[in-house]
Chains A and B, each alone.
Chain A
Amino acid sequence: MKSIYQILLIGSLLAGIAACENETKVCDQTLSTNLHINFKRDSAGIVRDTIMPKVTAFALGHDSIYKVQPLSNVFFQLSPVADTSRFYLKVDSTLTPDTLTFRYKRTTHFISAGCGFGTYFLLDTVIATRHTIDSVQINIKSVTTSNDTHLTLYFFNQ
């Protein structure tokens, strides 16, 4: 009988331990899903990833995301309240900047109890000026995680 009481006590401790995880207090996922863009350029007949020497980028009318820095990838946050976002992209200080226009559909997504809600995007159209950009390739239309490479920009050899 004594051992039964001991087991009852252990059970009450188990009940306490099981109750310790409060999922509304923890947000272990990123709230924003960024559009991931990769740079490529033709080099001696082979198209390969390239580092653009002085990248400056920002959404039109907003602060800089990147300011004169060498990059081979950029991540753009699309607007959660509009169906179009426009970005300025200059890949070298001596080159003419380009403008990228993204048109997309938005869907609200529940991330987790701790994080709340976020937005998923489905790319519809990408329009780019052709000063330094040779072509644009959409790899993945659905922007649900920043881990995927959604877009590849091919640059002219200058």
Chain B
Amino acid sequence: MSEFRVCPDSGFYFHKSAESLMKVNAVVGIVALLVAGILAIGVVLTRWQEVHLLPADMFYMVLTAHGINALLFWCIFFEMAILHFASSTLLRCRLATPRWGWAGFFLMLIGAIMNNVAVFSGKSSVMMTSYVPMQAEPHFYLGLILFAVGALIQVFVFFGTLVIAQQEKTYDGSVPLVTFGAITAAIIAVFTVASGAIILIPTFLWSVGYVSHIDAEMYRVIWWGMGHSSQQINVAAHVAVWYLIAGVLFGARPMSEKVSRFAFLLYIFFLQLASAHHILVDPGISAEWKIFNTSYAMYLAVLASMVHGLTVPGSIEVAQRAKGYTKGLFEWLRKAPWGNPIFSAMFISLVTFGFIGGITGVVMGTEQINLIIHNTIYVPAHFHATVVTGTTLTFMALTYLLIPVLFRRKMFLPWVAKMQPYVFGGGMTILILFMLGAGTLGVSRRHWDMDFAGAAMAFEYPAIAYTLMAVGAIGGLLAIVGGAMYLIVAVGSLLFGGKLEPSAGILESFAGKPLHASVYNINKPARLEMAPPLPEDHNKGGGFEAPGTFALAILLLVTFVVYYFINWKYLSSVWPLG
């Protein structure tokens, strides 16, 4: 029976089981984003001190749910769709063990719902990090455990698909770069889940009374093995999607397969003890351990991101120059399709992730500088630049690509989609920059009341801190509008978007539903061939292939260096410690 279809617009092949798993993972991810986005309204309007919307208990509950739904459920569900896409679709291979795939998906779904039930009952307002000895309800931890196990199963279905693709020789040569990036994300996911299991299972047993004590410091060290690594899954996945979008929109070829793949490999090798970044001001951790485990002597994971930061836009520049956009340094960029939300979302993501997320992350992950940043609102500002304008905006770009390709629907309200990346990216950038400023003034993260109303002793932040928080909140509201625009387009397209072929539908390709023979008419896709050969003079010339990108990279470096040393200067002004 023919179980494959080919998308006539993009040429991508879809195996029915992989296709339906991609759909459900993506849709549930988007629902988690919807929940997180609604909760964001409460967070933003409470931290805007002049509005101060929610009471304390409600605020902490909302903040807990916002963090978990956005950071874990939205990102990881969507990443499962990306994994199946990068294996089954890109390699033109049937999905390995579809039933296990479904089992993994349902475990994740049950876990996510269970965790949300625990949080919304109001008795598990422990924040995403759930630091012991503060205790949540048992099903808070159990939900996370089920979610993690489900994710692990889907990751192994991904690995299994790769094995089948290799054995059945569905592709020639090595796996594509995008698939290589997805493999990176999947490998990081395995040790993320392992760290999570090591700490969450005993914590669950502690919450039901079988374990009497969990050491608070040990919890922090191991929990962050999950908490930090899970964000590295996001980075690997969204960088892979950047390469995909550069390929789809521009026909861009990686500047060098070797360099880009090596950069992905560095992520795997040099992220292992990433929890070190989170315990820089904790008791009893030796300086040598912290210095080594945050940098491995040369920050090779940072190097990897700096490499992708050059090669992704560089590959676009090379492709654009080949099309004749060769004037000056930046004609290739000016003439890029800024009205196409796939491109604008991806490029805004690239710039904000590099210039804001990357730089602030390295600065605050520096052993001593962490003293003036730890647990201030600078921290969420940093990770909104990585996970929101970085990962989330990239996944939004991918959604715009998948609506016609995967769901075979026309985009609903395309003019809304066209503006969406600017509204969302712009609003979020305002939020981030002003929160960075407030954090520098010492404003605390995860804090209900910067007035400290009712406290026995008074403390007042400078007036400017209130202004920064208020402007940041306005940016946050703008970003929420941008998020709503995305949801309207995404959900609207699935429900009301015109069908690109009569059989197209959300439920198409699901088991139990007869496949349309006119669409699912491929028994075995043609073998995926290697990319067209490189030109004879590839990389042999003396000049720069992408001078505009190089100029941008130098700008990034200068910004990085200046900002880095500003922070050392600031550190030198505080009380001497030893």
Partners in one complex: no
User: A residues near B, CB below 8 A?
Assistant: none
